[in-house]
Amino acid sequence: MTYKIVASQCTSCSACEAECPNMAISEKGGTFIIDPKKCTECLGHFDTPQCVAVCPVDNTCVIDNSLPRYQAP
Amino acid sequence: MDSTANLESGASGANVDMDAVMQQVAEHKGCGTEGGSGKASCGSGAGENDLPQEIWDKVKNHPCYSEEAHHHYARMHVAVAPACNIQCNYCNRKYDCANESRPGVVSEKLTPEQAAKKVLAVASTIPQMTVLGIAGPGDPLANPAKTFKTFELISKTAPDIKLCLSTNGLALPDHVDTIAKYNVDHVTITINMVDPEVGAKIYPWIFWKHKRIEGIEAARILTERQMQGLEMLTERGILCKVNSVMIPGVNDKHLVEVNKAVKSRGAFLHNIMPLISAPEHGTVFGLTGQRGPSAQELKALQDSCEGEMNMMRHCRQCRADAVGLLGEDRSEEFTTDKIMAMEVNYDLETRKAYQAAVELERVAKVEAKKEELETLAGVASDIKILTAVATKGSGLINEHFGHAKEFQIYELSTGGAKFVGHRRVDLYCQGGFGDEDSLETVIRAINDCHAVFVAKIGGCPKGDLAKAGIEAVDEFAHEFIEKSAISWFKAYLEKVNSGEIVHESRGDAEIRQGALLAAAD
């Protein structure tokens, strides 16, 4: 399970970086990215994904549907 | 309480599709052309003799906490705090146009190290820069490591600079001891409500204890934290200013309650500011058509809250990276590229000498005002009128009418000349009204004034102003504002009493909302 950040909507406010329990978020090229290898969707840490909860722009931290595991078999 | 019941024009009604608005906010990329907007400043009109000595010592060089100081001293903000822990319907931090001026907007974010270098560069260039504030573009206390690292660096390299921060208050109680430790002795809390039902209309959510909390519950937690934080600060002798955004139909009447609540908890100064709201800002209020107050509405509310508490009326609602006197923005001179290339020579003695000269200027100004006021003693009249002043600072009428980017507004009565506000008149992109005559713009902005004091004015605009009922006065060029205004007012009363003129009241004026088109010269 992993989230991604929609770069065109990201304000680069960095709020998600500090909240991520997995240190999966970092700044790259003026916007923030989530390392899919580290993201756990906050399962085991919090009730809701912290990046989604703190992000000031709705629908900017979203499930990365392009990953093979989310594709229909 | 039904907020929509009070709405007079174009405010957010029940039939607004909030999902559509939120998507517009998400997609918003800023003004299509270039942006910019209403600036604001901070402060109280109280002078040296009206305040206890220890308080006066804290505010006398702080342009935001003292109206009197704001004519002489400058401030700067460093944008080290981008993250925020709440969402406000009047805020959209995506909008980053260099010409946009309102809270929450910056051109570039700084690291604490870059911020410290910038402070030294500005302090060396502008010796009257006495205050360093951290005001965002998010919330300083949602970025505590960056905020306090910045204060730590600056307190070592430039110990004479006052430290200041501005917060929404949610995280404030957790950081009061650290604030005290770094000698931050001015804290501003933005408090727009003390009733969660009102708050739910202003704050869609807060991020609290790892959860996003919405609605009335969010506003209830926020108001509790704000009040607790305010009490903790005043207990420690830290001077608190409360900022409130006046949102007609939402919290305008309620701000009287807010004023009582913060006054009783020891706030020093209350700054009621007009909502800045335009569709091109991409804020929820901008997109729902929520209007800001008129000049008269704002002044009436400020007047009604003015009692035992100082009201700030000189706030220019500046950017989170503003530099300079309130009402001017020199941030373009201090971009990261420029400051990194600068040879900085921080000379405390030069700064002290410059500031000593400023103090002499201030004393002369206050003396002149006092002397002139004595000549009004014994004159009886109920007449109160507003006048506009074109000034570049130092408390002088020293700006050409056509060059003024703003006018300062003074209320004249037999009690003297009182600063009651300012009107920004620089070139705005007004969403469809960009071609309007700039003189018309000025007249609408100072339409509630009987006169405008200028250093110089052309015959043509002078005539047009006269037709609009505003007298252009240039006989006091380069003289002190208050002394000149009192002198003019005395002559005005004499003319009224002799029957030469008939006193008539003026109409309302407009608070500019649009985006700034032309950058400062």
pLDDT of B71 > 90? The answer is: no
Q: Which residue is listed with tokens 């608005």?
A: B21
pLDDT of B6 > 70? The answer is: no
Q: Do A48 and B212 touch (CB under 8 A)?
A: yes
Domains in chain B: boundaries? 29-341, 349-516
Which CATH number does B349-516 carry? Answer: 3.30.420.130
Please give the pLDDT value at position B367: 87
pLDDT of B43 > 50? The answer is: no
Select the more confidently predicted residue: B243 or B376.
Answer: B243
Q: Which of B5-19, B304-318, B343-357 has the lowest mean pLDDT?
A: B5-19
Q: Is B209 on the interface with A (CB under 8 A)?
A: no
Q: Do B210 and A13 touch (CB under 8 A)?
A: no
In terms of CA atoms, which chain B residue is nearest residue A54?
Answer: B207
pLDDT of B271 > 90? The answer is: yes
Beta carbons within 8 Å of A70's beta carbon, 6+ residues apart: A63, A64
Kindly report, residue by residue over A13-56, the tens digit of the pLDDT.
999 999 999 999 999 887 899 999 999 999 889 989 999 999 99
Please give the pLDDT value at position B175: 97
Q: Which of B257-271, B315-329, B424-438 has the lowest mean pLDDT?
A: B424-438
Question: What DSSP letter does each residue of B200-254 carry, written as one string?
Answer: TTT-SEEEETTEEEEHHHHHHHHHHHHHHHHHHHHHTT-EEEEEEEE-TTTTTTT
pLDDT tier, B136 (very low <50, low <70, confident <90, very high otherwise):
confident
* B211 Cα to chain A: minimum distance (Å): 6
Q: Do A14 and B82 touch (CB under 8 A)?
A: yes
Residue B31 is classified by DSSP as: -
Q: Which residue in B82, B143, B207 is closest to A53 by CB distance?
A: B207
Q: Is A27 helix (H, G, I), strand (E, B) or coil?
A: strand
pLDDT of B44 > 70? The answer is: no
Q: Do A57 and B87 touch (CB under 8 A)?
A: no
pLDDT of B518 > 60? The answer is: no
Kindly report, residue by residue over B414-458, the tens digit of the pLDDT.
988 998 988 888 654 444 344 346 788 889 999 999 999 999 998
Q: Is B26 helix (H, G, I), strand (E, B) or coil?
A: helix
Query: In chain B, which residues have their Cβ closer than 8 Å to the Cβ of A14?
Result: 82-83, 143
Q: Is B89 on the interface with A (CB under 8 A)?
A: no
pLDDT tier, B350 (very low <50, low <70, confident <90, very high otherwise):
confident
Residues B207, B184: Cα–Cα separation, whole Å: 25
* B504 Cα to chain A: minimum distance (Å): 50
Closest CA to B326 of B238, B443, B421: B421
Q: For B375-397, what is the mean pLDDT? A: 89
Indicate if ipTM > 0.85. yes
Mutate one of B212, B213, B214 to test the A interface: name it (highest A CB count within 10 A).
B212
Residues B66, B61: Cα–Cα separation, whole Å: 8
Beta strand spans in B52-170 (E): 74-77, 86-87, 129-134, 162-167
Query: In chain B, which residues have their Cβ closer than 8 Å to the Cβ of A15?
Result: 82-85, 138, 142, 207
Cite the DSSP H helix spans in B325-416.
Answer: 336-341, 348-374
CATH of A3-70, one of 3.40.50.2000, 2.30.140.10, 3.40.190.10, 3.30.70.20: 3.30.70.20
Kindly report, residue by residue over B213-245, the tens digit of the pLDDT.
999 999 999 999 999 999 999 999 999 999 999
- Strands B449-453 and B385-389, bridge-based pairing: parallel
pLDDT of B318 > 80? The answer is: no
Q: Which residue in B22, B138, B211 is closest to A13 by CB distance?
A: B138
Per the prediction, chain B carries an average pLDDT of 83
Mutate one of A16, A20, A57 to test the B interface: name it (highest B CB count within 10 A).
A57
Chain B, 104 to 143: residues with Cβ < 8 Å from chain A are: 109, 137-138, 142-143
In terms of CA atoms, which chain B residue is nearest residue A11?
Answer: B94
Select the more confidently predicted residue: B492 or B100.
Answer: B492
pLDDT of B46 > 90? The answer is: no
Q: Which of B14-28, B193-207, B286-300 has the lowest mean pLDDT?
A: B14-28
In percent, the amount of chain B with pLDDT more than 90 equals 48
Q: Which residue is listed with tokens 């600056």?
A: B154
CATH of B29-341, one of 3.30.70.260, 1.10.3720.10, 3.20.20.70, 3.40.50.1370: 3.20.20.70
Give the number of beta-carbon pairs within 8 Å between A and B. Answer: 57
Q: Is B190 on the interface with A (CB under 8 A)?
A: no
In percent, the amount of chain B with pLDDT more than 70 equals 83
Q: Is B312 on the interface with A (CB under 8 A)?
A: no
Q: Is B27 on the interface with A (CB under 8 A)?
A: yes
Q: Do B94 and A14 touch (CB under 8 A)?
A: no
Quick check: bond before B137 cis, omega within 30?
Answer: yes
Select the more confidently predicted residue: B54 or B235.
Answer: B235
Q: Which residue in B84, B210, B211 is closest to A56 by CB distance?
A: B84
In terms of CA atoms, which chain A residue is nearest residue B88?
Answer: A56
Q: Which residue in B22, B138, B212 is closest to A53 by CB distance?
A: B212
In terms of CA atoms, which chain B residue is nearest residue A16?
Answer: B83
Residues B313, B302: Cα–Cα separation, whole Å: 8
B369 with B482: CB under 8 angstroms?
yes
Residues B73, B394: Cα–Cα separation, whole Å: 9
Please give the pLDDT value at position B398: 93
B38 with B513: CB under 8 angstroms?
yes
Please give the pLDDT value at position B16: 59
Highest mean pLDDT among B121-125, B205-209, B397-401: B205-209
